Amino acid sequence: MLKLDEIQKRLLREVADLHTVPEGAYNIRANSQSAGRQSTANIEIIPKTDVSGLDIRIKPGTKHESVHIPVVMTESGLTEVVYNDFYIGEGADVVIVAGCGIDNCGNQDSQHDGIHRFFVGRGAHIRYVEKHYGSGTGKGKRILNPVTEVYQDEDSAVEMEMVQIKGVDDTTRTTRAELKAGARLVVRERLMTHGEQNAISIYDVQLNGEGASADVVSRSVARDNSYQKFDAKLVGNAACTGHTECDSIIMDQGRILAVPGLEANNVDAALVHEAAIGKIAGDQIIKLMTLGLTEQEAEEQIVNGFLK
């Protein structure tokens, strides 16, 4: 990998599944510097001149291409704010892989705040994957505060996979979306906290056009003394459909708060929220223990299956 040490390469594998230089367009950021960048004929990556970040421009009609923009941090005490704007042309169909990995072996906090804005053209489709991961033996925290803003034109589709499974001490994940007529947004969040970690997920989705739809589902596990909050608001301003769901497992002394928010400003806005928080069922554990697993192994199998 370009200009990366072994720890940074490991972080890249965790957050972006990258083992070699990716095909297609990419920008790899390591400790606030570019470790490698490449554009293609259809996807141009341009560094911003006023703030730290990138403009990513995808030409109309671009198909079967990808953009990788992962971030890795290995310096304790490093704090950064990065602004990335994506302009997805009409009728394009692409995959965008982001994510951040922090390895902190020092005593100072390390923090990455990434602000991503997506301007999705008419009839375009994107799949966006964002994974967060933390490691390191230091006392300094690993802090990630992503902000995602999505502006969808008519008949566009956005699928988002938001994953945080290990090692992030504090995070506030904020997602805002505005959908025009016929636009579709699907979000699948997977989250696990442990130790003294805190994780807050905030969604504000504005369904502004007729036939717009949103489906926001979070699956999470809170272990040890960790805390989670899922705050999801859907606003139906037209004849539209919206669904949010929080499905969580609570373990040890964990705490979880689910805050549903539905606002219908049109008689034909159909909005639904579901929430379920509970511990692992005892009969599930017993069944796996009869197959030879210990109680701890049975719990791990159930949690891993739940978060897939």
pLDDT tens readout for residues 218-247: 999 999 999 999 999 999 999 999 999 999
Tell me, yes or no, whether 194 lies in a domain: no
Q: How far apart are CA 105 and CA 136, in angstroms?
A: 5
Q: How far apart are CA 216 and CA 272, in angstroms?
A: 10
Q: How far apart are CA 262 and CA 242, in angstroms?
A: 9
- Percentage of the chain surpassing pLDDT 90? 82
Length of the chain in residues, anyone?
A: 308
Task: Single out the residue of 198, 223, 197, 200 nearest to residue 280, CA to CA.
Answer: 223
Q: What confidence tens digit (pLDDT) does each residue in 86-114 have? A: 999 999 999 999 999 999 999 999 999 99
Q: How far apart are CA 78 and CA 235, in angstroms?
A: 37
What's the predicted TM-score (pTM) here?
0.94
Letter for the amino acid at 25? A
> Does position 1 have pLDDT exceeding 60, yes or no?
no
Give the per-residue pLDDT at 5: 85
Specify the number of domains making up the chain: 1
Phi-psi map region of 292: left, alpha, beta (phi>0 left; psi -120 to 50 alpha) = left
Q: What angle do CA 137, 140, 145 make, to 5 degrees?
A: 115
Q: What confidence tens digit (pLDDT) does each residue in 120-145 have? A: 999 999 999 999 999 999 999 999 99
Question: Could you tell me the residue range of the domain that residue 103 belongs to?
Answer: 1-143+164-168
DSSP 91: T
Split at pLDDT 50, 70, 90, the class of 31 is very high
- End-to-end alpha carbon distance in the chain: 28
Split at pLDDT 50, 70, 90, the class of 2 is low
Tell me, yes or no, whether 220 lies in a domain: no
Give the per-residue pLDDT at 247: 95
Q: How far apart are CA 115 and CA 57, in angstroms?
A: 16
Tell me, yes or no, whether 285 lies in a domain: no
- Give the helix/strand (H/E) hosting 282: helix 282-289
Tell me, yes or no, whether 298 lies in a domain: no
Letter for the amino acid at 139? K
Those residues whose C-beta lies under 8 Å from the C-beta of residue 118, and which sit 6 or more positions away, are 86, 88, 126, 128, 148, 149, 150, 151, 158
Q: How far apart are CA 125 and CA 152, in angstroms?
A: 10
- Tokens for 59, please give them: 């030409």
Tell me, yes or no, whether 82 lies in a domain: yes
- Tokens for 68, please give them: 């990788």
Tell me, yes or no, whether 130 lies in a domain: yes
Task: Single out the residue of 190, 147, 145, 195 nearest to residue 167, CA to CA.
Answer: 195
Q: What confidence tens digit (pLDDT) does each residue in 189-206 have? A: 999 999 999 999 999 999
Tell me, yes or no, whether 276 lies in a domain: no
Average pLDDT in the chain: 94
User: Strand runs (DSSP E) across 153-254, as ranges?
Assistant: 157-166, 170-179, 184-193, 198-207, 213-222, 227-236, 240-250
Q: How far apart are CA 8 and CA 232, in angstroms?
A: 34
Q: How far apart are CA 101 and CA 83, in angstroms?
A: 17
Split at pLDDT 50, 70, 90, the class of 117 is very high
Tell me, yes or no, whether 192 lies in a domain: no
User: What residues are paired with 230 via a beta bridge?
Assistant: 201, 258
